[in-house]
Structure 1
């Protein structure tokens, strides 16, 4: 059973990532394969992180995906245009929930996902509580 439609919180930045639908993404049913969406969830989160934090911060910290959950609502076809809209929830120690909406070129919701990410020290890969000074970067501008 699909969850309610994910809507971004007003206090969070919604970061938009264009998605490329490549020929290898199309499965035997003629639409984007479900596995591709998992990659898009990761791609959206990584793009958001890379766009908002400098090289020094990105060298110090890394993220590890703990779980992904996706609701598939409308199939994307080979000629469709798609975007991912992503935002984060509240930190829970070293964890962040990241939400992603995948929409077609007409703004129709095609899939939505929730990923749980854990912040780790890049040199030791040990979990680390999300620093308070990191949080404002994810707030609405």
Structure 2
């Protein structure tokens, strides 16, 4: 069954993160192991957050991933270079955001895509908190 490829909405900021394929990422099938992609989804979201908000904001708030979904399209081999993650967020739902990530090879071909559901929490209490309206413009174009 063919899966639709994720494409960012025109009104969303797209953040790019270069990724490195390391020897320890390669599994017995000779390509990047599926578990590595989960880490890359988290790395992309965290890097976007860190690049978009100041230290005070990042100290006050934190994000917790509560669900990951990944589709694989083509394997990344040990010699892959130029790999990158492209990420953007969907609509806020109270304390939740879906974050979309495309993992592309050096030629821009889609290798995998994923959606992570993130929940904003107060960093001290770890209790969920509605995403503040003043946070939203950082994710928009």
Q: TM-score with structure 1 length normalisation?
A: 0.98
SS in 2 for 1:135: helix
- Aligned equivalents of 1:139, 1:120: Cα separation in 2: 21
In the alignment, structure 1 segments of 5+ residues that lack a partner are none
Aligned counterpart, 1:128 = 129
Aligned counterpart, 2:46 = 46
Aligned counterpart, 1:115 = 116
Kept in 2: contact 1:103–1:111 (CA 8 A): yes
- Aligned equivalents of 1:53, 1:79: Cα separation in 2: 34
Kept in 2: contact 1:95–1:130 (CA 8 A): yes
Written as runs of structure 1 = structure 2, the 5 A alignment for 1:1-141 is 1=1, 3-81=3-81, 82-140=83-141
- Aligned equivalents of 2:3, 2:110: Cα separation in 1: 13
- Aligned equivalents of 1:25, 1:58: Cα separation in 2: 29
What is the deviation of 1:2? Answer: 5.3
- Aligned equivalents of 2:127, 2:59: Cα separation in 1: 14
Distance 1:2 1:125, change over 3 A: farther
Distance 1:60 1:37, change over 3 A: same
Q: CA RMSD in A?
A: 0.7
What is the deviation of 1:86? Answer: 0.1
- Aligned equivalents of 1:66, 1:37: Cα separation in 2: 16
In the alignment, structure 2 segments of 5+ residues that lack a partner are none
Kept in 2: contact 1:2–1:71 (CA 8 A): no
